[in-house]
């Protein structure tokens, strides 16, 4: 038997992790988490070393009732911890952007999908309509907050299958030409293998060089860390993750949770990519989520620390 051919030379020296559990994780939980409990979890995450966080989403409470308290959560975190963490709020339209700015968001994360089917399921509009809305949000945010764009289903779509790399680079180009300050590419359903994942990322590198891009990676088929390694090999070093691995898009049937922050930090630190965070501190926060009844948890919690996995929450 030959040794596994995996190269760890030439990786980025440091990775930046953006915590998304309070938005992507909590939105998948059916039973409403009281606002003060959300704030308790968020403050624990910040105390564990999180320095950038997508703290909530300003969407219709009819679509995602769990985030009906988004304004209260953002304003409270800004008041209590605003000096310690960069606060990001996901927004789908101008109305959401106005509310996020009123709450003191440092960055607006405008979301739309690469695939028409998912965009209509998620946002009830076409991709072209979302791009038109982006122009309005960019104008609104100018001089008040940074504006990042997250492109969902950048790798796979639950309705259309594989997303063509050329589709992704085309939409990225349009968003950047319109004035977006940053880009996040989302592996929304967690089914993309490292070969296809690398193919898309290589196409992005070919067109946009070393432009800093966030990668939002789900773990439905257990390939999140493999895809992180594939991204590192191509020089990418910015990742979204959720403590406990919580998450899942309500409009992506079958999608499981995100890459778990504690697993990601443990992995990166172990291969010599600095994160500035300690996995054990993050595990303590993940355990508090578990104790509360939020069950989609990272391997570091359920395996290395001797706790049994008891199912999952999230679509």
pLDDT at site 28: 86
pLDDT at site 250: 61
Give the pTM.
0.91
Backbone angles phi, psi at 12, to 5 degrees: -55, 145
C-alpha span between 123 and 115 (Å, rounded) = 12
Tens digits of pLDDT across the chain (315 residues): 444 457 888 999 999 999 999 999 999 898 999 999 999 999 999 999 999 999 999 999 988 999 999 999 999 999 999 999 999 999 999 999 999 999 999 999 999 999 999 999 989 999 999 999 999 999 999 999 999 999 999 999 999 999 999 999 999 999 999 999 999 999 999 999 999 999 999 999 999 999 999 999 999 888 999 999 999 999 999 999 999 999 876 656 556 689 999 999 999 999 999 999 999 999 999 999 999 988 666 667 654 443 333 222 222
215 DSSP β-pair partners: 185, 239
> Which residues are catalytic, by number?
249
Angle between helix axes 224-233 and 194-208 (nearest 10 degrees) is 30
Cα angle 51, 217, 175 (rounded to 5 degrees) comes to 80
Structure confidence by residue, pLDDT tens digits, 203-238: 999 999 999 999 999 998 889 999 999 999 999 999
In contact, 183 and 175? CB cutoff 8 Å: yes
Nearest alpha-carbon partner for 283 in 308, 258, 266, 259: 266
State the chain's mean pLDDT as an integer.
91
């Amino acid at each position: 038997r030959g040794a596994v051919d995996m190269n760890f030379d030439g990786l980025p020296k440091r990775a930046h992790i953006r915590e998304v559990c309070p938005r992507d994780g909590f939105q998948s939980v059916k039973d409403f988490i009281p606002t003060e409990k959300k704030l308790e979890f968020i403050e624990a995450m910040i105390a564990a070393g999180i320095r950038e966080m997508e703290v909530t989403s300003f969407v219709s409470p009819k679509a995602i009732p769990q985030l009906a308290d988004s304004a209260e959560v953002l304003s409270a975190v800004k008041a209590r911890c605003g000096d310690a963490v960069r606060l990001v709020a996901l927004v789908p339209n101008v109305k959401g952007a106005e509310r996020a700015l009123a709450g003191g968001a440092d960055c607006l994360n405008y979301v739309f999908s690469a695939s028409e089917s998912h965009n209509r399921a998620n946002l009830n509009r076409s991709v072209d309509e979302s791009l038109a809305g982006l122009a309005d949000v960019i104008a609104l945010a100018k001089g008040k907050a940074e504006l990042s764009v997250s492109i969902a289903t950048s790798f796979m779509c639950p309705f259309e299958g594989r997303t063509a790399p050329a589709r992704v680079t085309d939409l990225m180009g349009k968003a950047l030409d319109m004035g977006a300050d940053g880009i996040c590419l989302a592996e929304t359903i967690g089914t993309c293998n490292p070969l296809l994942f690398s193919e898309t990322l290589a196409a992005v590198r070919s067109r946009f060089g070393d432009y800093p891009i966030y990668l939002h990676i789900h773990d439905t088929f257990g390939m999140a860390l493999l895809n992180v390694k594939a991204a590192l090999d191509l020089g990418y070093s910015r990742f979204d993750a959720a403590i406990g691995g919580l998450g899942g898009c309500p409009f992506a049937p079958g999608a499981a949770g995100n890459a778990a922050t504690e697993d990601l930090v443990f992995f990166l630190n172990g291969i010599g990519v600095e994160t500035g965070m300690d996995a054990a501190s993050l595990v303590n926060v993940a355990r508090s989520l578990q104790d509360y009844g939020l069950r989609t948890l990272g391997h570091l919690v359920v395996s290395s620390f001797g706790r049994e996995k008891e199912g999952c929450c999230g679509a």
